Amino acid sequence: MRQFQQTAKYLFPIALILLATLAKYSFTGILGNRTPFLLYSGVVIGATWYSGWRIGLLTNFICLLLVVYLFLEPIGSFYIQPRLYVHLLIFTLQNVLVALMGYALQEALRKSRAAESKVKLLLEEACDLLVLRNENGKAIYVSPKVTEITGYTPEEYMELTFDRLVEPEHLEMFKEKIESVMAKPNERQTVKSLFRCKNGGLKWLEGDVYNYLERPGINAIVSHIKDVTSRIQLETQKDEFIGMASHELKTPITNIKGFTTLAKSAIRTNPEKAEALLGRSEVNIKRLGRLVNDLLDISKINTGRLSYEFQLFNLSSLIQEVVQSFILTYPGHTFTLETVPLAIINGDRFRLEQVITNLIDNAIKYSPESRSIVIKQELKEGKAIVSVQDFGIGISEEHLKHIFDRFYRVDASSMRFQGLGLGLFIASDILKNHKGNFWVESKQGEGSTFFFIVPLQGYSKELAVTDHATFYHNSSISIHYHSKENYLEVKWIGIQTKETVNESGLKILEFVRKTKATRVYNDNSEVIGNWSDTSDHGGKVWFPAMAEVGVSFFAWVMSKDRFSNMAAMRSYDMNKSNILIKLFDRQEEAVSWLLEQEVDV
């Protein structure tokens, strides 16, 4: 297309010159002698208009030669009679002037068109939805943004009445506001209401509506509409949270007040009772302190200001201390503690105490029918694994994946148990900052076990065993190339963290590149732990990289651990490559499927 336009720029003036010359030849008798100047001036104007001032000037020069050669005496020669000098000079000057004027005009037009389309583009793309209506309220223009917001095309939207768009509960208010705008020139109103989208979903839309019916050049009711659904949701969440937080803070304050008043009156007559009451008051003071600290921590996490003081300390003795204080506070509960004597880690003692306290607190809180809590600590592959098990209400599968989100509370439990849904979110942030990890195993009605891991100090990574060509083995992965069938067998072992997943991912890529394997058997059946921090990267970056080095088929055996599977599913869902990935529960099925796959050459 561009090429054609370029060629036409030259062809058009040539065609004009030819036409003019032909006309002049054919009608010399009628047109007379002076006409070549007029006729060729027309040619130069046309050429300048269509092809720009440069080609216009060139055309002028060619026309000048043609006029002199073909139509001025002596014909067939470039000799110019002195009396015609002035005519030729005027002809040239006039054409140059016309060419320059044409150019200026064209430039002005081009600029104004560019500005117009820029404004239109800005209105349609950068701004939110724009709707213009006439004096009867009928839509006369709807910007394309409407499809992104409501799912309707501009044409569909124009045909819809407010009754179809606005939810019934807001309809009356909506109509009232629009009518009040329409009634008065230059009136403006902000209207916020629930709209029903094409797919049936609801969205909060907020529009500034202006009456510009009498404004020259606009003459319409202009609505500038924004999708404010997430803002409204956030506001609602914030209001709910403030309500919940005030309630949570009020309860221990009321308790403290009650217990101290009772203790005061019992202190002389029944000092034992007074002591017990003060003990209960102390529990509430502690709870209040924890709530306030949680709130402060959340705001610090939001602004990235939660600070840590790292030092070497024995995690085992910290766990013992925390459990000891729970034993004193909850004499009616049984705390079973299985720990190793020494687990030196480099961490923030206060913050990890907060994590353990929160887990045990939750274990007590969410087990109204059971009084037994089991706390275990073991050392594995250079990491300390701590678990807190309860036999309480448990968590259903659908809620598990949100459990570490901020403000998340399982619906059914939030009514029965006090809390703000902050503890686990803070704990998971603390563990991330310790290069640690966090996950949970739970069954509704049977109880939950929360796990966390932190790396031990001074643990040097074991060296990998490898021949750099067909096998590789370390504590978190084993890779084996089956040369006969041309596939790579990858087995992930034990606890996986962001670091091990990233490192092993690179190793697999290296082996695929070396062996040119097109099929990968990926076995997660022995994996534990939550490696969800890397699952997005796995789907978006690692799989495409695997595709690039030649992998076409990927048989994926799932783990028995639910959190690990959630991370795997996330990677699977995010997969951006064209590798064919199939998930399996059983290893034999995965291998036999993989071996059936052939690469088309």
Using the minimum distance from each CB to ligand ADP, give the nearer residue, 409 or 507: 409
Decide: 519 and 597 in contact? Cβ < 8 Å.
yes
For ligand ADP, the binding residue among 355, 356, 410, 557 (CB under 6 A) is 410
When asked if residue 414 is in the footprint of ligand ADP (CB under 6 A), the reply is: yes
Q: State both tokens at 586.
A: 């059983």
When asked if residue 360 is in the footprint of ligand ADP (CB under 6 A), the reply is: no
For ligand ADP, the binding residue among 423, 529, 538, 539 (CB under 6 A) is 423
**Number of neighbouring beta carbons within 10 Å of residue 311:** 10
When asked if residue 451 is in the footprint of ligand ADP (CB under 6 A), the reply is: no
Q: Sign of the C-alpha dihedral, residues 476, 589, 489, 480? A: positive
Decide: 224 and 124 in contact? Cβ < 8 Å.
no
Decide: 316 and 457 in contact? Cβ < 8 Å.
no
Q: Which residues of 104-137 are buried (b: 16+ CB within 10 A; e: fewer)?
A: eeeeeeeeeeeeeeeeeeeeeeeebbbbbbeeee
For ligand ADP, the binding residue among 46, 56, 347, 421 (CB under 6 A) is 421
Stretches 63-71, 88-96, 411-419, 493-501: which one binds ligand ADP (CB under 6 A)? 411-419
In angstroms, the CA 28 to CA 20 distance is: 11
For ligand ADP, the binding residue among 72, 323, 393, 520 (CB under 6 A) is 393
Give the nearest distance from C-beta 439 to ligand ADP in angstroms.
13
When asked if residue 419 is in the footprint of ligand ADP (CB under 6 A), the reply is: yes
CA neighbours within 13 Å on the CB side: how many for 329? 18
When asked if residue 355 is in the footprint of ligand ADP (CB under 6 A), the reply is: no
When asked if residue 395 is in the footprint of ligand ADP (CB under 6 A), the reply is: yes
Look up tokens 């309500």; give the residue.
243
Decide: 177 and 209 in contact? Cβ < 8 Å.
yes
- Interaxial angle between packed helices 35-51 and 85-121, expressed in degrees from 0 to 180 and rounded to the nearest 10: 20
When asked if residue 403 is in the footprint of ligand ADP (CB under 6 A), the reply is: yes
Give the nearest distance from C-beta 417 to ligand ADP in angstroms.
7
In angstroms, the CA 98 to CA 136 distance is: 49
Q: What are phi and psi of 92, to 5 degrees?
A: -65, -50
For ligand ADP, the binding residue among 260, 317, 413, 466 (CB under 6 A) is 413
When asked if residue 409 is in the footprint of ligand ADP (CB under 6 A), the reply is: yes
For ligand ADP, the binding residue among 48, 362, 518, 522 (CB under 6 A) is 362
Give the nearest distance from C-beta 407 to ligand ADP in angstroms.
8
Q: Which residues of 509-541 are buried (b: 16+ CB within 10 A; e: fewer)?
A: bebbeebebbbbbbbbbebbbbbbebbebbbee
When asked if residue 225 is in the footprint of ligand ADP (CB under 6 A), the reply is: no
Q: State both tokens at 553.
A: 């088929």
Stretches 98-106, 164-172, 361-369, 379-387: which one binds ligand ADP (CB under 6 A)? 361-369
Stretches 1-9, 104-112, 134-142, 418-426: which one binds ligand ADP (CB under 6 A)? 418-426
Decide: 562 and 595 in contact? Cβ < 8 Å.
no
User: CA-CA-CA-CA torsion for 322, 323, 324, 327, nearest 10 degrees?
Assistant: 130
When asked if residue 557 is in the footprint of ligand ADP (CB under 6 A), the reply is: no
Give the nearest distance from C-beta 419 to ligand ADP in angstroms.
2
Exposed, middle or buried, 307 (CB in 10 Å: 0-12/13-18/19+)? exposed
Going by C-alpha positions, the residue among 552, 470, 556 that lies closest to residue 511 is: 470
Phi-psi group of 547: left, alpha or beta (phi > 0 → left; psi -120 to 50 → alpha; rest → beta): alpha
Using the minimum distance from each CB to ligand ADP, give the nearer residue, 289 or 458: 289
By beta carbon distance, the residue nearest ligand ADP is 419
Stretches 39-47, 200-208, 297-305, 419-427: which one binds ligand ADP (CB under 6 A)? 419-427
Stretches 5-13, 165-173, 342-350, 423-431: which one binds ligand ADP (CB under 6 A)? 423-431
For ligand ADP, the binding residue among 53, 71, 366, 452 (CB under 6 A) is 366
Using the minimum distance from each CB to ligand ADP, give the nearer residue, 32 or 368: 368
When asked if residue 441 is in the footprint of ligand ADP (CB under 6 A), the reply is: no
Give the nearest distance from C-beta 348 to ligand ADP in angstroms.
19
Using the minimum distance from each CB to ligand ADP, give the nearer residue, 102 or 392: 392
Q: Tell me which residues touch ligand ADP (CB under 6 A).
A: 358, 362-363, 366, 390, 392-395, 403, 408-410, 413-414, 419-425, 448
